[in-house]
């Protein structure tokens, strides 16, 4: 008899964003003809930039000619792209990583979800609260947690690292032991960034506890504050204890094109894994479960890392950052308490008058016709906040901010 994987049955309710979409749809059905301004999902809205678009067009031309057609590529990614990623880290962050440490993927989400699968089932995950929901859900589905405890609104077996205003939304390393430490900076959803010293405390923890850090740097190009690290490998000793996951989604607009990477250095090691083992297992995993990223996307990614491509990406990021500034200033002027929005496209906004996250979500939808994301969807510590996203056309962002200000 076929039986389903009960670890999947342990997952609680729907994934956050489908639930937000469902509520918006239900509201629209009741209010036909009213346009909802969406500052909810972190989905890019601006066009692919010229150098990158041209490279992808060129790749399609090559694929359209039998003489230059290519089929399957290496599961780990095209050599040229892996070399360019390695160069990019050296040039921009002063970090030396072998091109072989880079595994090109179809985006950060799948790698962030799949990475737990190469670690033992009894590995204890430590996850920031609030957090990008994929870290918790993938650990639940991967059998690394106990059951959900509704009285605590938490899964047994996860070490939650609460991030709130009292710690500047940067959790400290846990007091207890954990094996897999998930960190994301600039943070989704709070927009917080960690200093070198703060990241060093996690690297030290990982060395002490023989743990592995999984560092999600999907938003690194949004950092403008001087001295804030863009990569965990800017911290000495991180190469022995950290995996980093990156993405072309938020800087090159590849949310639909799909391209990312994961860095698994050969020097990484842990308790039963001497140097090289974790690298080898991720390679084995990718070769078996993944058939390589699209060659058209990879051509675009290579162009994005060229000198002109980088200029375009920084300019695209600048557009969203300007949106973030407009939102941040608008929300502050409306009297709301806000965090993030400087080194990040997200403005983490406290709900007024003791409202819950979903109450404020409903209020903004009903009164201002603006959709945001309820903070509680990112974890218990997100209750009492909403996340406002800077991804949108400028004119829509301006209209949404004006509408919130008028209706609050």
Q: Which is nearer to ligand PLP, 42 or 209 (CB)?
A: 42
Q: Which is nearer to ligand PLP, 214 or 235 (CB)?
A: 214
Q: Which is nearer to ligand PLP, 88 or 269 (CB)?
A: 88
Tokens (6 digits) for 362: 């409903």
Please measure the distance between the N-terminal and C-terminal CA atoms of the chain and give it in whole angstroms.
Answer: 56
Minimum distance, C-beta of residue 321 to ligand PLP, in the bound complex (Å):
16
Q: What angle do CA 187, 193, 197 make, to 5 degrees?
A: 130
Given CA atoms 115, 255, 360, 163 in this order, what sign does their dihedral have? Answer: positive
Minimum distance, C-beta of residue 150 to ligand PLP, in the bound complex (Å):
26
Minimum distance, C-beta of residue 186 to ligand PLP, in the bound complex (Å):
9
Q: Omega before 188 cis (within 30°)? A: no
Which spans of this chain sit near ligand PLP (rule: CB under 6 A)? 42, 107-109, 112, 132, 184, 188, 216, 218, 247, 249, 255, 260
Q: Which is nearer to ligand PLP, 215 or 358 (CB)?
A: 215
Minimum distance, C-beta of residue 380 to ligand PLP, in the bound complex (Å):
18
Give the contacts of 7 (CB within 8 A, at least 6 positions apart). Answer: 140, 141, 142, 143
Given CA atoms 221, 227, 228, 231 in this order, what sign does their dihedral have? Answer: positive
Neighbour tally for 253: CB within 10 Å: 26
Distance CA 242, CA 237 (A): 9
Minimum distance, C-beta of residue 90 to ligand PLP, in the bound complex (Å):
22
**Residue 155, beta-bridge partner list:** 148
Tokens (6 digits) for 106: 């179809």
Minimum distance, C-beta of residue 113 to ligand PLP, in the bound complex (Å):
9
Q: Which is nearer to ligand PLP, 108 or 273 (CB)?
A: 108
Tokens (6 digits) for 400: 């949404």
Minimum distance, C-beta of residue 384 to ligand PLP, in the bound complex (Å):
21
Q: Which is nearer to ligand PLP, 253 or 309 (CB)?
A: 253
Q: Which is nearer to ligand PLP, 44 or 369 (CB)?
A: 44
Q: Which is nearer to ligand PLP, 75 or 209 (CB)?
A: 75
List, as one string, the DSSP characters of 128-177. EES--THHHHHHHHTT-S--EETTTTEETT-EEEE--GGGTT-PPPPSS-
Minimum distance, C-beta of residue 112 to ligand PLP, in the bound complex (Å):
6
Number of residue whose CB is nearest ligand PLP: 107
Q: Which is nearer to ligand PLP, 184 or 304 (CB)?
A: 184
Minimum distance, C-beta of residue 189 to ligand PLP, in the bound complex (Å):
8
Pairing of strands 37-38, 370-371: parallel
Sheet holding 338-340, edge to edge: 338-340, 346-350, 385-389, 373-374
Distance CA 313, CA 134 (A): 26
């Amino acid at each position: 008899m076929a039986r389903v994987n009960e670890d999947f049955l342990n997952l609680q309710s729907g994934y956050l964003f489908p639930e937000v979409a469902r509520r918006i749809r239900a509201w629209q059905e009741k209010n036909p003809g009213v346009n909802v301004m969406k500052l909810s999902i972190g989905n890019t809205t601006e066009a692919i930039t010229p150098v990158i678009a041209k490279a992808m067009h060129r790749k399609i031309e090559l694929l359209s000619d039998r003489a230059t057609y290519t089929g399957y590529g290496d599961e780990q990614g095209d050599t040229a792209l892996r070399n360019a990623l390695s160069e990019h880290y050296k040039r921009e962050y002063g970090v030396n990583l072998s091109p072989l440490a880079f595994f090109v993927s179809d985006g950060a989400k799948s790698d962030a979800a799949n990475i737990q699968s190469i670690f033992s089932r009894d590995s204890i995950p430590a996850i920031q609260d609030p957090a990008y929901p994929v870290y918790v859900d993938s650990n639940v589905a991967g059998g690394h947690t106990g059951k959900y405890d509704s009285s605590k609104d938490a899964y047994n077996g996860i070490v939650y690292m609460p991030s709130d205003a009292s710690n500047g939304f940067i959790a400290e390393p846990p007091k207890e032991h954990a094996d897999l430490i998930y960190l994301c900076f600039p943070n989704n959803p709070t927009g917080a960034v960690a200093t070198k010293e703060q990241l060093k405390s996690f690297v030290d923890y990982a060395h002490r506890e023989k743990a592995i850090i999984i560092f999600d740097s999907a938003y690194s190009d949004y950092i403008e504050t001087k001295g804030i690290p863009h990569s965990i490998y800017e911290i000495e000793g991180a190469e022995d204890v950290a995996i980093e996951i990156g993405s072309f989604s938020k800087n090159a607009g590849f949310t639909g094109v799909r391209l990312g990477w994961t860095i698994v250095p050969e020097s990484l090691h842990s308790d039963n894994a001497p140097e090289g083992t974790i690298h080898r297992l991720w390679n084995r995993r990718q070769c078996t479960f993944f058939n390589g990223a699209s060659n058209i996307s990879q051509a675009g990614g290579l162009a994005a890392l060229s000198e002109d491509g980088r200029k375009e990406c920084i300019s695209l990021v600048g557009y969203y950052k300007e949106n973030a500034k407009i939102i941040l200033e608008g929300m502050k002027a409306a009297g709301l308490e806000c965090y993030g929005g400087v080194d990040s496209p997200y403005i983490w906004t406290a709900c007024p008058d003791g409202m819950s996250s979903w109450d404020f979500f409903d209020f903004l939808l009903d009164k201002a016709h603006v959709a945001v994301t309820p903070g509680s969807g990112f974890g218990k510590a997100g209750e009492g906040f909403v996340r406002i996203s800077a991804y949108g056309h400028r004119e829509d962002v301006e209209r949404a901010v004006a509408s919130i200000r008028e209706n609050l």
